[in-house]
């Protein structure tokens, strides 16, 4: 069964994190949410406090098939945490999947992974990421998948299901949720 790691930082965008998490779990994919801090409680951008499955420190040594970075104001915490840069580089070096939505592609940019690639991201980071494909909802280039923001979270989640499971499974889930 494929596995996904989702680091959650204070201020994460709830829709961008949990629409894809829900769709991946519907597909039978093992998703682990990991709080960046020392406690499992993480509060998102809209004030929803969720309980992560574990902390990032607990799962740093484990390997997952995909590292998924949600966006929102919490991206500043992802960018400031050296563990995230190390994880991104480790996953990239091992040929594992990386996925980022909204402002989170900036984390991939910080690690030097977007140069020469096709990608999209939220317009708020366009100054740092001038090659954003602004009209694309989801872009995959090699083993890196990016998406624009909350409004594209379901498309993004279904795309990840297709990558990790199958296009047929993504279509099945799409029909089940009336998308």
Domain count, the chain: 1
Q: Residues 47, 138, 6, 79: is their CA dihedral positive or negative? A: negative
> Helices in 13-119 by DSSP H: which ranges?
14-26, 56-59, 75-80, 82-93, 105-110
Q: Which of 102, 106, 114, 150 is catalytic?
A: 102
The yes-or-no answer on residue 178 being catalytic is no
pLDDT tens-digit map of 28-59: 999 999 999 999 999 999 999 999 999 999 99
3-state secondary structure at position 30: strand
pLDDT tens-digit map of 1-35: 999 999 999 999 999 999 999 999 999 999 999 99
The reply to whether 178 falls in a domain is no
pTM recorded for the entire structure: 0.97
Expressed as residue numbers, the domain containing 110 is 3-170
The reply to whether 140 falls in a domain is yes
DSSP-derived letter for residue 117 is -
């Amino acid at each position: 069964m494929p596995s996904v790691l989702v680091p959650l930082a204070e201020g994460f965008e709830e829709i961008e994190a949990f629409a894809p998490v829900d769709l991946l779990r519907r597909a039978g994919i093992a998703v682990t949410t990991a709080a960046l801090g020392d406690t499992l409680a993480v509060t998102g951008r809209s004030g929803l406090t969720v309980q992560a499955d574990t902390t990032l420190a607990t799962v740093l040594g484990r390997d997952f098939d995909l590292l998924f970075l949600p966006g929102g104001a919490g991206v500043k915490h992802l960018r400031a945490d050296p563990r995230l840069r190390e994880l991104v580089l480790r996953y990239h070096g091992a040929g594992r999947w990386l996925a980022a939505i909204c402002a989170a592609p900036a984390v991939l940019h910080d690690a030097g992974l977007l140069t020469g690639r096709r990608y999209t991201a939220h317009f708020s980071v366009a100054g740092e990421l001038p090659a954003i494909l602004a009209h694309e909802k989801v872009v995959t280039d090699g083993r890196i998948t990016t998406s624009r923001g909350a409004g594209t979270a379901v498309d993004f989640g279904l795309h990840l299901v297709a990558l990790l499971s199958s296009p047929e499974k993504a279509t099945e889930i799409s029909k089940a949720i009336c998308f």
